[in-house]
Amino acid sequence: MENNTDALSENGMTVCEGFSRIPARLENHIVIININEKLPVIVDEIFNGWRHDTYADIVVFVQDQTLWDSNPRWHPKVKSPHRLFVVQGCPGNTDQLKCTGVDTCRTAVILADPSQGRLSDAKGTLIALAIEQVSPDVHTVIEVVSSGHRVHLKGTEVNEAVCMGELTEALLAQNVISPGVLKTVEELMAIHNNAPGFMLKEIPEAMVGMTYREAVLKSIEEGSSFVICGYEKNAREANGMLLIHHPTVNPTGALKDTVLCETDAFVVLDMD
């Protein structure tokens, strides 16, 4: 990949001429495969929402060099102290995937490749299979163009498939029923310093052993800076990460009396 000095100066990203230029032993980073118009927004949201002690590392794996060069508006901007590395190659090549640190990353994101047209979802599925071969346990999120193609992902280890068409249709319908709800959803989904946001939160030590009902009441009585919306049982993975698999949101009846353990997590609307 051609190294553009102006781009480095303007955006603060490192455009690597080869995989050897990516720092060795990256851990807990994000790998984004493919590019489209959503890339700069996704990167910006990750940087704004990073709530860890260290800076965020993102590796962008560009498959189509021409697509990257012809769309400078898709080039993300880096916010200090975070780091972003861009490298070009073939994500179906497991050796190249390993060089991005996909086996030690926090999450791998596969974006829909606009240069592939109708084959975008099929190509994305093949990349997911390559990731699975390198690291079956990595948390993988894939963007699909057609919701009908979800069926092809059932035999893979993909954790989440996001179909923008489905989200758009659902939001439009909700906005018809409750005018203005779209603005509320946009505010909740935005990640910036003053915006509330949904997140997983460790069960506080004082609430371990309580029922969900008791924990919610205690949270209200203490004036917590977050609103408990539900819970996830056994949310903590072996690597220490909290992940949502089958959340219970707004539980009713006997589900409110579920006893909370230290490996569980709250689904909260964080107001802080």
Residues 83 and 22 in one domain: yes
* Count of other CB atoms within 10 angstroms of residue 19: 19
Q: Which structural domain range is residue 233 located in? A: 196-270
Q: Sort 232 into a burial class: Cβ within 10 Å, 0-12 / 13-18 / 19+.
A: buried
What pLDDT score was predicted for residue 9?
Answer: 37
Does 176 fall in a domain?
no
Decide if pLDDT at 42 tops 70. yes
Close Cβ partners of 144 (under 8 Å, ≥ 6 residues apart): 112, 121, 124, 150, 153, 161, 162, 163
Mean pLDDT, rounded, of the chain: 81
Q: At 2, phi and psi to the nearest 5?
A: -70, 135
* 67 has a pLDDT exceeding 90: yes
CATH code of the domain in which 136 resides: 3.40.50.720
175 lies in some domain: no
- The angle, 0 to 180 degrees and rounded to 10, between the axes of the packed helices 164-177 and 181-189 is 140
In a domain, 186, yes or no: no
pLDDT at 206 over 90: yes
| pTM of the complete model | 0.69
User: What's the domain count of the chain?
Assistant: 2
- DSSP lists the bridge partners of residue 226 as 270
Please answer whether residues 26 and 14 qualify as being in contact, where contact means their C-beta atoms are separated by less than 8 angstroms. no
78 and 42 together in one domain: yes
pLDDT band at 168 (very low <50, low <70, confident <90, very high): low
Is 184 among the domain residues?
A: no
Instruction: Report the CATH number at residue 227.
Output: 3.30.70
In a domain, 183, yes or no: no
Strand-pairing partners, residue 17, are: none
Mark whether 266 and 227 lie in a shared domain: yes
Bridge partners for 107 per DSSP: 30, 139
How big, in percent rounded to 5, are the helix, strand and coil portions of the chain? 40, 20, 40
Considering only CA atoms, which of 168, 266, 264 is closest in space to residue 216? Answer: 266
Read off the pLDDT of each residue in 212-232 and give the average, rounded to a whole number. 91
Q: At residue 5, does pLDDT exceed 60?
A: no
- CA-closest candidate to residue 122, choices 94, 97, 150: 150
The better pLDDT of the pair 22, 63 is held by: 63
pLDDT, residue 150, reads 65
Output 93-97 pairs: Cβ under 8 A, ≥24 positions apart: 93/130, 94/130, 94/133, 94/134, 96/19, 96/61, 97/61, 97/130, 97/131, 97/134
The 3-state DSSP class for residue 19 equals: helix
